[in-house]
Structure 1
């Protein structure tokens, strides 16, 4: 073998190896998991699939996260970090702002609503706890006794998550179709109108919706229900 092909026995003589994969941290893993969930849904989340997106093996991920359930807990808490802690000086406006933000967050992350409904998830993440503590403080400062403040927060959150879940499910279905919301709605109208032929109130409602501008109807419906929930809570303070 020619002399110049012999390896020089020194670490300083060897060219440094290129890093084969990015440095993994729990934060980077969770951030990519949220992106995967947004794009493909919870059914397609797996440690192997996530590792492939990160350019790492699944075993590398297990050094930071024990399993998929733990990953979902972390992803849920990370998304909760997007919610504001507004200081409006008035309980109804503060609760309204947080509720609107939670709805917007669920629509950005359609998988979130289903994970919030999972009984097995432990809501002990720092962002979830911070939001819960904040909302309890808002209700207690408004005049609700501590026990009732907790029930008031639960009532508002149940309304927001319930309505937003249906809206998120619709948007997910439209996204899977590969069509715009308007195109998908136009395809559904004939079947919907046939289905309600024998139900005069529903028939009239569908006809009015088709004839009018429904672009802001979801937001209007959400806002109507939210304010009626808050009206009911307001009576408890009287």
Structure 2
């Protein structure tokens, strides 16, 4: 198929932006309002029609700036990614501390906006957004400064991000349940404890593990679990560096 007959790539980042936009209804305003809607009502409430109603405009007006809901999701994901701390490798840094800070920043962003965890699988080309590319550039710079060649720095970055997103997705789902319950995290944990103990009654190791958590702050438990896993991921990357063979066994 000739290049000029190829179907367009479905992403807002590859479509030219309109040069003229209505001052009262810019892409920036649409994205800002969409983030507020998502934070308040969740992903199920998001539609071009509902967003247009909040903006006092018809859905047709929105389509002049955003082609469809998929593009809108790409835009809102990149918008909240702008809240993350950018990695600064302009001077000497401890790469583990710097990467850890960025990992915590990513987790915090997802927990502030739990809907992000639900839509990441719907985002076609998230890495093309300006905020995501800025974060990626900073992370790659850190891993390169640590001693990873660029191809492996990219793999190391993706490994850390995959861990953070996996953990944060589970936490975000739990926190959404917590919000719907109208209870505090400690209250919910205490109310679920008898059920959990009953389910684990024939599983002594699980029962002992649950008993060890009794009375502890559930938020602190979540923090400790995340930190433990992150440190083990970084341990693995550190061991890779300490093996003094980084880059020597790169497969084609």
TM-score scaled to structure 2, two decimals? 0.82
Q: Identify which range, 203-212 or 97-106, moves more after superposition.
A: 203-212
Change (3 A) 1:32 1:119: closer
Pair 1:233 & 2:237 matched: yes
Is there any run of 5+ residues in structure 2 with no aligned partner, and where? 1-22, 243-252
Aligned to 2:68: 67
Please tell me whether residue 114 in structure 1 is matched to residue 115 in structure 2.
Answer: no
The one-character-per-residue Cα deviations of 1:98-151 (angstroms, maximum 9, x if unpaired) are 001001000000011232234634421111111111111111111101111111
CA distance in 2 between counterparts of 1:78 and 1:35 reads 11
* Coordinate RMSD, CA, aligned: 1.8
Gaps of 5+ in 1: 1-21
Question: How many Å separate the matches in 2 of 1:229 and 1:50?
Answer: 40
The number of residues matched between the two structures is 218
Rounded Cα–Cα distance in structure 1 between residues aligned with 2:86 and 2:217 = 34
How far apart are the structure 1 equivalents of 2:119 and 2:157?
19
> 2 CA distance for matches of 1:102 and 1:168?
12
Runs of 4+ in 1 over 4 A off after TM superposition: none
**Equivalents in 2 of 1:74, 1:214: separation in Å?**
33
Match of 2:180 among 173, 176, 181: 176
Farther off after superposition, 184-193 or 119-128: 119-128
Q: Which of the two has higher C-alpha Rg?
A: 1
